[in-house]
């Protein structure tokens, strides 16, 4: 391995450590607790080293969002892969999405609530974000209905899931009604 390759590997390892530490801190204490000073202390590097990887917290949030988008896409595809019918796939997709939001609140916030400097719904949207949307679209396109654009249907279904996720996390919806909400969403919106 050349010196340059070693330096690149070490740089990638440091960057991964920064992102993982930010994510861990955000999951434990919320995003307000994630500061460059605190991250530098936790990873035992100076703040200038941290700034050599990320210009600030916004870029770190973006990096967590991209990592989370890849994880979400994987979780959605895994959940729907074993389903035997369109209805089962859509229900599995909804449950997996809501489970992801519940079990990864800081990542979910990085993806959909906070400014990570990432462009959404544009040509220059990063691939992990496009792939997370594609994981939704792959499942929902088959139930969009005649004359309904699959992408538009996916956006509306996704918006409904996002609403359920954020309202549940905020304590605005009773957690014991989570499953009836999924069933209603699948039956009425997806009509499968």
- The pLDDT tens digits of the residues spanning 119-145 come to 999 999 999 999 999 999 999 999 998
The distance in angstroms from the start CA to the end CA of the chain is 55
- The pLDDT tens digits of the residues spanning 10-51 come to 999 999 999 999 999 999 999 999 999 999 999 999 999 999
| The pLDDT of residue 96 is above 90 | yes
Residue with tokens 């973006």: 62
Q: What is the pLDDT of residue 192?
A: 66
Q: How far apart are CA 117 and CA 85, in angstroms?
A: 38
- The pLDDT tens digits of the residues spanning 154-168 come to 999 999 999 999 999
Angstrom distances, CA of residue 149 to CA of 124, 132, 156? 22, 18, 11
Q: How far apart are CA 144 and CA 170, in angstroms?
A: 30
- The pLDDT tens digits of the residues spanning 57-71 come to 999 999 999 999 999
Q: How many CB atoms lie under 10 A from the CB of residue 123? A: 6
> How many angstroms from the chain centroid is the CA of residue 107?
6
pTM of the model: 0.93
| The pLDDT of residue 1 is above 80 | no
Q: What is the pLDDT of residue 87?
A: 94
Q: What are the φ and ψ backbone dihedral angles of 121, each rounded to 5 degrees? A: 55, 40
Angstrom distances, CA of residue 66 to CA of 127, 130, 153, 179, 183? 9, 10, 24, 29, 30
């Amino acid at each position: 391995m050349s010196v340059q390759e070693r330096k690149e590997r070490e740089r990638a390892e440091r960057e991964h450590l920064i992102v993982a530490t930010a994510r861990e801190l955000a999951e434990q204490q919320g995003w307000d607790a994630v500061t460059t000073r605190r991250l530098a202390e936790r990873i035992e590097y100076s703040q200038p080293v941290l700034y050599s990887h990320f210009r600030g917290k916004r870029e770190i949030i973006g990096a967590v969002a991209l990592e989370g988008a890849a994880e979400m896409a994987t979780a959605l595809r895994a959940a729907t892969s074993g389903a035997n019918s369109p209805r089962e796939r859509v229900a599995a997709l909804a449950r997996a999405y809501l489970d992801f939001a519940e079990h990864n609140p800081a990542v979910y916030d990085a993806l959909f609530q906070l400014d990570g400097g990432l462009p959404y719904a544009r040509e220059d949207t990063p691939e992990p974000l496009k792939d997370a949307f594609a994981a939704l679209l792959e499942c929902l396109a088959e139930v969009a209905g005649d004359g309904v654009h699959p992408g538009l249907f996916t956006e509306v279904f996704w918006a409904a899931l996002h609403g359920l996720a954020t309202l549940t996390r905020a304590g605005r919806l009773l957690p014991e009604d989570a499953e009836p909400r999924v069933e209603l969403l699948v039956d009425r919106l997806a009509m499968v």
